[in-house]
Structure 1
Amino acid sequence: MSSSTARTSRKPLAIGAGVVAAALLLGYASYTATKPDASSGGSSSVAGASADPQADPQTGAYSALEGLARRDAADKLAQGRTDAPVVMIEYADFRCGYCGKFARDTEPELVKKYVEDGTLRIEWRNFPIFGEESESAARAAWAAGQQDRFWEFHAAAYAEGVKEKGFGKDRLRALADEAGVADLDRFTRDLDSDGARQAVKKDQEEAYGLGATSTPSFLINGRPIAGAQPTETFTEAIEAAKKAAGEAGR
């Protein structure tokens, strides 16, 4: 996982005592939800999370965190049905190597297996923590989304070796072109707009308010998962959340 020392001066956003209490700070909850289970030879476990009375003993989820899913049909930075039984929120930075690994190796499998059949919705949150180029890339992703090319831009920006070339303005425009953004002049304007800055700030402050300390960080129906974990960690969490959602709907 990746982290930034620049975050130490940031103040957590007050997003409600219930959510903060449920999170127990996302970093701590993420650890307890995914720490190795000694009895199973190091596989992912929710034992630590379920020890907390506010976490579901079967899924390791926190009900207050589940409420952070927006399920907004107009959300340009999301994919999957708004009524999907499972929502995965991803807090990530385009300069984060582990975010790129997840984007290339794991996310496509989850999309194919769960998004396409209506089980999973993925909601992206821009969480730039590595300075000015992280912020610029986050705004560029938002700008691409305004022309319905967010996920194409996401794929281009996370391709192997791309982050090493940097995210200056010319590079971002080239990535937008590669992603099929139709109006590149509009893209450039949108990238520097107040709308882009406010959208990124909203996502960023949501993550800070939860106490997130690294990227990528995830919530799957309120269950925290930290880092680019093996695909099995995500499939297990999605299956558990799907089962819980089905039982709740009976």
Structure 2
Amino acid sequence: MPVSRTRKPQKKSGRTPQRGGGRPSGGGRAPTRSADRRRPWAVVIAVLLVCALGAGVLAALGSAGGGGGGGGGDDASQEEFGDPALADVAHRDPDDPLAVGDVDAPVVLVEFLDFQCAYCGIHARETHPWLVDEYVDTGKVRIEFRNFPIYGPESDTAARAAWAAGRQDRFWEFYSAAMDEEFDMDSGRFSDEGVLALAEEAGVPDLDAFRRDLDSTAAGEAVGRDAEEALSAGVTQVPAFLANGAFVGSAQDQDAFRDVLDEAYEAATD
């Protein structure tokens, strides 16, 4: 059971989060040399994202006002539920440590997230526990997480750390620890030292193995596969959610999730 349901009470800072995690308020630590070594992959994601955005603009200009991918949109309540091609984004791997819920659940909700995104944090603290209570624990929905680190080196380190925690079956504990409170982007929270502290808080048993996995080629490849999958699905911002091939229109609105998930469940069980 994800520890996000037994998290500490959210600290109210009174700040209004900005899209994409906000800007640093100053005093943030510079990335470590290890983070600098990972920078090329973060740059690749940024370049690919720009290309995806450009392709999206061209598609929009060439269409008669068709719905956009990644941002969700209302899409006229999905006249034909979901996109069969996007439904393939769900893996249904029974050994996936970055997933929660019955592997045979009628609906798979795929979540694309950057740990530095403020709205991703709101989702993790407020909506994710509700989704687990309402849909995962009742066997209706399985949630599969995908890393999509688009905000630079600390985002990349956080994604690698989440994967490394999952190697020791502590992904959801890391997810909860990492998102448990508001923070400024590029603050050092996801430096090498920061993610090690979060891994310890999450109860990762072998921190030496965690360090090795964090810097491994396998970690970079896993994060890269997630990012490529996001871009192929048309995701251009975070958080983004796909339920059986249909985008959820809002990351903060429980009604938006309910509308899409209930429709997906009905379509899958008819």
Judge conservation of contact 1:92–1:128 (CA < 8 Å) in 2.
yes
CA distance in 2, matches of 1:221, 1:229: 19
| Corresponding residue to 1:10 among 48, 63, 67 | 48
**1:10 counterpart letter in structure 2:** L
Cα offset for 1:47?
Answer: 1.0
**1:225 counterpart letter in structure 2:** V
1:34 corresponds to: 73
1:133 corresponds to: 154
| Corresponding residue to 1:191 among 214, 217, 220 | 214
Judge conservation of contact 2:109–2:244 (CA < 8 Å) in 1.
yes
1:47 corresponds to: 76
Change beyond 3 A, Cα 1:140–1:80: same
Judge conservation of contact 2:250–2:256 (CA < 8 Å) in 1.
no
CA distance in 2, matches of 1:29, 1:145: 28
Cα offset for 1:63?
Answer: 1.4
2:178 corresponds to: 157
Q: What is the TM-score when the length of structure 1 is the normalising length?
A: 0.80
Equivalent residues, number:
217
CA distance in 1, matches of 2:67, 2:208: 39
Question: Secondary structure of the equivalent of 2:111?
Answer: strand
CA distance in 1, matches of 2:254, 2:133: 13
1:17 corresponds to: none
2:128 pairs with 1:110: no
Cα offset for 1:118?
Answer: 1.0
Change beyond 3 A, Cα 1:48–1:81: closer
| Corresponding residue to 1:101 among 122, 134, 146 | 122
Q: Note the alpha carbon deviations across 1:111-150, whole angstroms, 9 max, x for none.
A: 0111111111000000000011100000000000000000
CA distance in 2, matches of 1:226, 1:27: 11
Judge conservation of contact 1:103–1:155 (CA < 8 Å) in 2.
yes
- Give structure 1 stretches of 5+ with no counterpart: 14-19, 36-45, 51-55
Change beyond 3 A, Cα 1:27–1:168: farther
Judge conservation of contact 1:142–1:196 (CA < 8 Å) in 2.
yes
Q: What is the TM-score when the length of structure 2 is the normalising length?
A: 0.74
CA distance in 2, matches of 1:232, 1:48: 13
2:24 corresponds to: none
Question: Secondary structure of the equivalent of 2:143?
Answer: strand
**2:102 counterpart letter in structure 1:** R
Superposition misfits of 4+ residues, deviation over 3 angstroms: 162-165
Cα offset for 1:71?
Answer: 0.1
Aligned-pair Cα RMSD in Å: 2.5
2:202 pairs with 1:179: yes
- Give structure 2 stretches of 5+ with no counterpart: 1-18, 22-42, 53-58
Q: Taking every aligned residue pair, what percent have the same amino acid on both sides?
A: 46
| Corresponding residue to 2:83 among 62, 81, 99 | 62
